[in-house]
Structure 1
């Protein structure tokens, strides 16, 4: 039975793992292929401990990020975004309100950067009134809010 070695992958390697992972490989494969090509390093106890600490820090950071995203969603849930528009004599807006318009207004008024493709609703909005939209944030967090298209005071 071939002797196995624990190696720290320095590059992504098909069937073994991603860079930074620790993998068990045959000693010959490690010494003849991975080490000479600079694709892996021997995973000593010190390296494993450092890797575990990095993984713990990454998990903690990801949890904090998710919490911040969820708090943003809770704060924005069911809020209204008023959009004043110029209208013609039939009280119809010139042009239409698009997801891009909403994205820019959210950034401007709330400081929340959301790509237009993550905003879904009845676009383009070409009438005055209230409309419900859904906004997807990273890590599958979403919230609903209303946009109110109103006549601009001229």
Structure 2
């Protein structure tokens, strides 16, 4: 088996790895492609320490983001219910539907916290009443709130 060399990637390379990954590649691939194009650097003890430090910083950042999301989840679930007023027609049917943007605006108006509307999952809301909505605040944190749709 041919000797392989260890390199640390400086960019994401499909089928090889992500930025900061330590990978083993053929010496010719490293020498002729990765190193001249600055896509990778040779793995030295100093470089490995830098990579480990960056990973630790990223891990700490992810922990902080998760803690922030948990605090936001607690705040949203403490309030629990957000009211949205819509124009109503016959049989308590609303004109249009309640959108994730409207719920995000209602949350911001009540809590002064921004919520990414792309993380909001709403059922089809076509009538006035109470509905459950899920808000994904972090890949591991989801809040559940009640949406109260009332007539305008």
Tell me if structure 2 keeps the 8 A contact 1:7–1:22.
yes
Mapping 1:81-120, distance limit 5 Å: 81-85=82-86, 87=88, 93=94, 95-110=96-111, 111-115=113-117, 118-120=120-122
TM-score (structure 1 length as normaliser)? 0.78
Tell me if structure 2 keeps the 8 A contact 1:103–1:116.
no
User: How many residues matched?
Assistant: 150
Q: CA deviation at 1:94?
A: 5.1
For the pair shown, the structure with the greater C-alpha radius of gyration is 1
Change (3 A) 1:4 1:97: closer
Q: CA deviation at 1:151?
A: 4.5
Alpha-carbon separation, structure 1, partners of 2:149 and 2:91: 15
TM-score (structure 2 length as normaliser)? 0.79
User: Match for residue 142 of structure 1?
Assistant: 142
Post-superposition CA distance 1:49-93 (Å, at most 9, x none): 011000001011101101211221122126111234455697665
Alpha-carbon separation, structure 2, partners of 1:29 and 1:89: 70
Structure 2 unaligned segments of length 5 or more: list them.
Answer: none
